[in-house]
Structure 1
Amino acid sequence: MKRIIIAVLVVIVTIGAIALVLTNNKKKNAAKTAFIAEGGGAVAVRVANVEKKIVDLDFSSNGTFAPKQELNFLSENAGRVSKIFVDEGDRVSVGQVLARIDAEIINTDRETAEATYQNALRDEARYKSSYATGGVTQQQLDQAKLVTQNAKLRLQASQRKLSDANIKSPINGIINKRYIEVGAFVNTQGTQMFEIVDVSKLKLKVNVNESQVANLKIGDKIEIKSSVFPTEKFNGKITFIAAKADASLNFPIEVEVDNNTKKSLRAGMYGTAVFNFPKQAPSILVPRSSFVGSVSSNQVFVVDQATNTSKLRKVVAGRILGDAVEILEGLNEGESVITSGQINLAEGTPISIVK
């Protein structure tokens, strides 16, 4: 019995839902019919007045700060770490010694290379003397010179390795991470030793759309805001504008930001780039929906006030500013453009304006 009652209730609810959907559809169709009927036999359209407006190009875009320079410092020589002179958070400069690798083996190689080079120099001198008296041939002398040159190159390489035993910072920055300890062994495969970041300047990466990127160029000065430091001012300049849009049809932009003397900003924080432009002269703007087909068609329908008919007008479109389009030629203030119903229009079609 209970199952029968539940089944009856489900059927009643289903019938009620269907009736509700049919009623809503009937109301929508009635509204469409009323819209067409308002035209009184003419095509019902909506219009917008053609007028000059001040174009506001200012906009802002949010992004994330990244360090201007970031380096994962790897070992170049094999050996055991004998000393470490810096720790995480320390500020370092170019050429500063960060750590030292045990140079005993490296120094032995350099001494061997030095001895080999000196011996090659003496042999070359003897060959030159013998060649002057006819004791050796030109080929033997050239071979001795080649041996000396190779020995010199090996000596230079060993001296470079000995110099590299002192691990020096290649950039100015802050030790963000230290990966080694005294006694640790590093190898020539490139053991990670330090992560160094330079936050004296930062990069703010933001995205802009096609209408915004058209007004930007490399070197433009940009105001930067940070919600973490709302009272501090930061300045930046555009250093990169992508030549190609990404998958979302936006253009990546990079703004180089001068960190203040307090070095308040840190990589990974959020920032806002504020793009301010000089005040623009008023321009004729029309809704984007005014165009027949698309903006690229450069055609709109205007209202002929005398005959109350539609007239096809050729125009020259300028900038696309959101839902509005700048008109450079073809329209005058005071005219009216048709913004809906163009699909039913042709030259001279009677129209009825629906408010």
Structure 2
Amino acid sequence: MELNQMSTFNLKTFILLLTIPVALSGCGNAGSTNTVESAPVETERGVPVEVVSVAQGTVRASIQASAILEAEEETDVIARVSGIVEDILVEEGDFVEQGQALVRLESSRYRYSRDQIAAELRGVSQELERMRQLAGQQMISTEQVERLQSRHDALSAQLQIAELDLSEAVIRAPISGHIAERFVKTGNMIQAYQQKALFHIVNDTTLRATVNLPEHALASIKAGQEADLELQGAGNHNNISAQVTRVSTVVDATSGTFRVVLSIPNAEQNLRAGMFTRVNLHYAQKHNVVRIPHHALVNVDQASYVFIANENKAQRLAVTTGIRENGWIEITEGLDTGMQLIVTGQNTLRNDALLEVIEL
């Protein structure tokens, strides 16, 4: 009986010893509640991106080239008769109208020759009239009248040539334009139709630019298409418009290019032949199409994608592109207006990534 009581006592003592540390531990925690706070739970931050709203606009496809401005009309002035230069009526830089007198040659010999032929023709005309009357009276043969008639006709032709020579002793402008160069001086002996020109006239009221484009553009370039020209040294007229007027259908086998001629209105003559220009030839233009900045496009394995922001998450969309302009790309499929297009930070995004959106 005493043994059982001792066993019971030892068991109670053991249980009591086990409970003391637990109680002490509880007291320690109770005392520290006022000094230790639980750590806050961190939320995931989104990837910062910039977005713009997708909108419609105009996109033009262009080809860049360079050219030198040329006058649409220019010519050398030559003499049609020989003679000594008596008077020069214009100088370099002057604007002349077609038919305006430029140079006078010594013309007295042409005038005397004309007067001589005219006098002889008058005598033949009187004789011809008398012989016709005699032929009517059958006093002379018709052969005599015909011979005199031939003489009369020859003199008439000679008189016309003499009058033409006399008129061409005054050398006139064949076209309207500016005197670009003067080669003749007073006192020079001028030969008819000599190779050396007297003047060079440039009509710069309409200019042209000739560009050579690659063969692959031949099917796209047509007369009437527009181009923008950027010039150096034209003052306030550095940027002007031009139009395609002629397209060669022959491709040069050596260079693989074909010729395109642009027409440039220059009624105010602010531009000059010889100016260098850069040409942007617009061979395709579309209005009211979905367009995006070119840097928003992501290319992966020859496929095109864009990222949009959808409820603060990235969504990747496959798109089909059309024509391109400086800084803009037409989107023909896969994107609608009003979507929030990611334009910065899209190259490192994954689909469904959390975003921190910054609207531009």
Q: TM-score normalised to the size of structure 1?
A: 0.61
1:152-301 residue pairs with structure 2 within 5 A? Answer: 152-190=156-194, 191-229=196-234, 231-232=236-237, 233-246=239-252, 247-259=254-266, 261=268, 263-276=269-282, 277-279=284-286
| Higher Rg | 2
Q: How many residue pairs were aligned? A: 235
Q: Per the alignment, do residues 110 and 197 of structure 1 end up closer, same or farther by CA in structure 2, a change over 3 Å counting?
A: same
Which structure 1 segments of 5+ residues have no match? 1-53, 283-289, 291-318, 322-332, 334-355
Measure how far apart 1:131 and its partner are: 0.5
Q: CA RMSD in A?
A: 2.7
SS of the residue corresponding to residue 218 of structure 1 reads coil
SS of the residue corresponding to residue 199 of structure 1 reads strand
> Share of identical aligned residues, percent?
22
Alignment pair present for 1:97 and 2:97: no
Q: Per the alignment, do residues 197 and 244 of structure 1 end up closer, same or farther by CA in structure 2, a change over 3 Å counting?
A: same
Task: Select 2:121's aligned residue among 95, 117, 123.
Answer: 117
Measure how far apart 1:55 and its partner are: 9.4
Higher strand share: 2
Alignment pair present for 1:147 and 2:166: no
Cα separation, 1, equivalents of 2:220 and 2:182: 44
Measure how far apart 1:115 and its partner are: 1.0
- Counterpart amino acid of residue 279 in structure 1: K
Measure how far apart 1:189 and its partner are: 3.9
SS of the residue corresponding to residue 151 of structure 1 reads helix
- Who is 2:79 aligned against? 75
SS of the residue corresponding to residue 198 of structure 2 reads strand
| CA offset digits 1:212-261 (Å, max 9, x no partner) | 22112122232222133374242222121112012201011111111262
Which structure 2 segments of 5+ residues have no match? 1-57, 291-301, 303-321, 325-333, 335-360
| CA offset digits 1:63-91 (Å, max 9, x no partner) | 11111111111111111111111111111
| CA offset digits 1:252-306 (Å, max 9, x no partner) | 1111111262x23221111122222213889xxxxxxx9xxxxxxxxxxxxxxxx
> Contact 1:234–1:260 at 8 Å: present in 2 too?
no
Alignment pair present for 1:135 and 2:142: no
